[in-house]
Structure 1
Amino acid sequence: MADPNPQAGDTGPPKGMPALKAHVIANKIDVALWGIRLLTVLCTIGYVLPIFNNASAAFYKALLANAATSALRLHQRIPAREIAVSREFASRLFLEDSAHYLFYSLVFMNVTPHILILIPIFLFALLHAASYSLTILDTLGQNSMWVARLLISLVEFQSRNILRAAALAEIVLFPVVALLAVAGGCGYLTPFVYYYFVMWRYASRRNPYTRNTFRELRVLAESAAARPALPAPLRSALLAGVRLVCSMAPPVEVQQ
Structure 2
Amino acid sequence: MSEQSQQAGDTGPPKGIPALKAHITANKVDVALWGIRVLTVLCTIGYVLPVFNNPMSAFYKALLGNAATSALRLHQRIPAREISLSREFVARFFLEDSAHYLFYSLIFMNVAPSLLILTPIFLFALLHAASYSLTILDTLGQNSMWVARLLISLVEFQSRNILRAAALAEIVLLPLVVLMALFGYCSLLTPFVYYYFVTWRYASRRNPYTRNTFRELRVLAERSAAKPGLPAFVRDGLLAAVRLSCRLAPPVEPAPQ
Report how many residues are paired: 256
2:180 is aligned with 1:166: no
For residues 41-56 of structure 1, what are the structure 2 equivalents within 5 Å? 41-56=41-56
Please list the CA deviations of residues 73-119 of structure 1 after superposition, one character each: whole Å capped at 9, or x if unmatched.
Answer: 00000000000001111110000000000000000000110110000
The aligned residue for residue 26 of structure 1 is 26
Instruction: Point out the more displaced range, 5-14 or 136-145.
Output: 5-14
For residues 89-104 of structure 1, what are the structure 2 equivalents within 5 Å? 89-104=89-104
The aligned residue for residue 133 of structure 1 is 133
2:179 is aligned with 1:179: yes
Please list the CA deviations of residues 95-150 of structure 1 after superposition, one character each: whole Å capped at 9, or x if unmatched.
Answer: 00000000000000001101100000000000000000000000000000000000
The aligned residue for residue 246 of structure 2 is 246
- Displacement, 1:179? 0.8
- Displacement, 1:11? 4.2
- Displacement, 1:6? 3.1
SS at match of 1:113: coil
TM-score normalised by length of structure 2: 0.97
Is there any run of 5+ residues in structure 1 with no aligned partner, and where?
A: none
Letter in 2 for 1:131: S
Using the alignment, how far apart are the partners of 2:170 and 2:201 within structure 1?
Answer: 9
The aligned residue for residue 60 of structure 1 is 60
2:224 is aligned with 1:224: yes
Using the alignment, how far apart are the partners of 1:105 and 1:94 within structure 2?
Answer: 15
Please list the CA deviations of residues 29-59 of structure 1 after superposition, one character each: whole Å capped at 9, or x if unmatched.
Answer: 0000000000000000000001101000000
- Displacement, 1:165? 0.1
2:200 is aligned with 1:197: no
Using the alignment, how far apart are the partners of 1:52 and 1:160 within structure 2?
Answer: 32
The aligned residue for residue 149 of structure 1 is 149
SS at match of 1:112: coil
SS at match of 2:211: helix
- Displacement, 1:4? 2.9
Letter in 1 for 2:223: S
TM-score normalised by length of structure 1: 0.98
Is there any run of 5+ residues in structure 2 with no aligned partner, and where?
A: none
Letter in 2 for 1:198: V
Using the alignment, how far apart are the partners of 1:155 and 1:2 within structure 2?
Answer: 42
- Displacement, 1:2? 4.5
The aligned residue for residue 117 of structure 1 is 117
Using the alignment, how far apart are the partners of 1:106 and 1:241 within structure 2?
Answer: 28
Using the alignment, how far apart are the partners of 1:45 and 1:141 within structure 2?
Answer: 29
SS at match of 1:254: coil
| Structure 1 runs (4+) greater than 6 angstroms displaced | none
Using the alignment, how far apart are the partners of 1:232 and 1:11 within structure 2?
Answer: 69
Identity of aligned residues (%): 81
- Displacement, 1:10? 2.5
- Displacement, 1:170? 0.1
RMSD between aligned residues: 1.0
2:253 is aligned with 1:237: no
- Displacement, 1:8? 4.0
